[in-house]
Amino acid sequence: MSNNANKSVNNPMKVITGPDTRWSYANIWEAKSINGGTPKFSVSLIIPKSDTRTLAKIKAAIEAAYHEGEARLKGNGKSVPPLSTIKTPLRDGDTERPDDPAYTNSYFINANSATAPGIVDADRNVIITRSEVYSGVYGRASINFYAFNSNGNRGIACGLNNLQKIRDGEPLGGKSKAEDDFSTELDEDFLS
């Protein structure tokens, strides 16, 4: 008698990020095409360098995806390229985004999916109000890593599964929220 509903499948290529992960470029409500490609849902996950637990899980999952995908990475070649020579999704914000303060002292991963991610709040209630989730919020992300080999372009990619908003953050992209713009009845510019 087996009960698959209660079985937890241990997938070494799946990671749940820590709650201090910040979401940027959050295209999570509608799939968008980049450079004419297949439309996808996507988010840039900004992970503080201080979150060593999440970073260790990500590095282990990338390595697991590398080993699981060795045949794909080898392709028609004679050998599997070393992990250190292929593209991986974990990138250093201080190096690759030095002019963006949101990426300071952080790593980031761009995750995407052809299907919409499930989005819940801290209590695991489904979020349907789009304005509650924006670039700048903090939350956890369920992501998975996999090997790819497409037109000679080989590496490890990151798939987006689900998102859990933990708390609000300063919106990224310079846009203010309506409730903040109209928090007072006085016309502040009139007095200056």
Is residue 183, in this structure, part of any structural domain at all?
Answer: no
Q: What does the pLDDT read at residue 120?
A: 98
Q: Does residue 32 fall inside a structural domain?
A: yes
Asked whether the CA dihedral 118, 122, 126, 129 is positive or negative, the reply is: negative
In this structure, the number of other CB atoms found within 10 A of the CB of residue 128 comes to 8
Q: What is the mean pLDDT of the chain?
A: 89
Please answer whether residues 162 and 119 qualify as being in contact, where contact means their C-beta atoms are separated by less than 8 angstroms.
yes
* pLDDT value, residue 152: 76
Residue at 184 is within a domain: no
One digit per residue, the tens of pLDDT, for the chain of length 192 reads 444 444 456 899 999 999 999 999 999 999 999 888 899 999 999 999 999 999 999 999 999 999 999 999 988 888 899 999 999 999 999 999 999 999 999 999 999 999 999 999 999 999 999 999 999 999 999 999 999 998 878 999 999 999 999 999 999 976 555 666 666 665 555 444
* Residue 177 placed within a domain: no
Residue 184, CA distances (Å) to 131, 132, 168, 187 in order: 21, 21, 21, 8
In a domain, 27, yes or no: yes
Helix (H, G, I), strand (E, B) or coil at 59: helix
Kindly report the CATH number assigned to the domain that includes residue 66: 2.40.50.140
Determine the number of helices (DSSP H) and then strands (DSSP E) in the chain: 4, 8
Q: Which two tokens stand for residue 186?
A: 């006085």
- 192 within domain boundaries: no
Query: What range defines the domain where residue 113 resides?
Result: 11-172
Over the stretch 134-190, which tens digit does the pLDDT of each residue have? 999 999 999 999 999 988 789 999 999 999 999 999 999 765 556 666 666 655 554
35 Ramachandran zone, left/alpha/beta (phi>0; psi -120 to 50): left
Integer Rg of the chain from CA: 19
Q: How far apart are CA 86 and CA 11, in angstroms?
A: 22
Task: Find tokens 């590496």 and name the residue.
Answer: 155
Q: How many domains does the chain have?
A: 1
Does residue 178 fall inside a structural domain? Answer: no
Sequence letter at residue 96: E
